[in-house]
Amino acid sequence: MLASPRPATAATSRAVFGRLDDGTPVEEVRLRGARGFEARVIGYGAALRSLLVPDRDGRLDDVVLGHDDLAGYVSGRHYFGASVGRYANRVAGASFALDGRRYELVANDGPNALHGGPAGFDRRVWTTLALGDDPHPFVTFGLSSPDGEEGYPGALEVEATYALTGPTELTVHLTARTSRPTIVNLTNHAYFNLGGARGGDVLDHRLTIAAAQYLPTDASAIPLGGPEPVAGTPFDFRTPQPIGARIREADEQLRRGRGYDHNWCLAPARLDEPRLAARLEEPRSGRVMELLTDQPGLQFYSGNFLDGSIPGKGGRLYRQSDALCVEPQIWPDAPNRPDFPSARLDPAQKYLHTSIYRFSAA
């Protein structure tokens, strides 16, 4: 780890976003690109707090949900823009076996472990390790997770890098190393609304997902079995579909999740290079987001549990379907499913995750 990050440049800047009750400072880093494109990332949860994107007329708007101050992130746990781990999504029964030994995790979603447990990475202050603009504006945050934290084996060293890798392109690169065999599944949990974070709902957004199969789930959102075809179901997004077109259909899977909250199966294992996983279009602004990733799964969540009780930016109360998440990751409950892509990480290996968010306007 670097002793201190490089100083800010014209394309990057850093400031104290807020302080925890014990006085611990939390930084915010701004990365500036072309045409006003800008990302703001905070050290609390290594979270993407703001993303300014131009529309077809060049007007900028913030397209991710979040809070105006640190208190909003600390007082409630909604994963807005957070780097989630050690295991994104769910582990059934909050336990798994590895090399003949069973590990008991901390259940925080009924009987299951969700997004790393009650003290997941989204609840931690990450350290700013590096900051600069060579070859493009970037910031790298680091986090150390001790052996046994939340029940997971192995001391883990994690890094999250945000970089503006194109005029209107944000790349998120997540890495991890472990001191002994463990499981790792990291993702970014940004809530997107391409009409603007203070706009209406996302039900008119047109979504395409490059997957022919998805994972149906039980009442606790654990996969029931193996992948099932999307053909002939409301889960078929192989061609562009308005999110709201079929979300109210009498489908048991939609009823259980109060909308979409499922994993689409992109590949049987991690890819060597990122490829197109999803495309999102917002008709009024013309904004388009293409998501490329090297991960084998994509969790699409239609903001079903935003219930009007969560105050966000500008004092706006976030309501159902005010935003959506498309979370690249390993499939849910993979540690308990040898037929799923492996989440195992050994000391000789390095966990790698690259996702690219490429914006344009039509």
Residues annotated as part of the active site: 189, 327
3-state secondary structure of 244: helix
List the structure tokens of 328: 């690249």
Distance CA 285, CA 242 (A): 15
3-state secondary structure of 196: coil
Distance CA 205, CA 132 (A): 34
Walk across the sheet containing 241-242 and list its strands. Answer: 127-132, 138-145, 156-166, 169-178, 351-361, 287-293, 275-281, 206-209, 241-242
Please enumerate in sequence order all residues whose Cβ is within 8 A of that of 133, keeping only pairs 6 or more positions apart, or say none. Answer: 9, 10, 11, 12
3-state secondary structure of 74: helix
Q: Are 153 and 98 in contact (CB under 8 A)?
A: yes
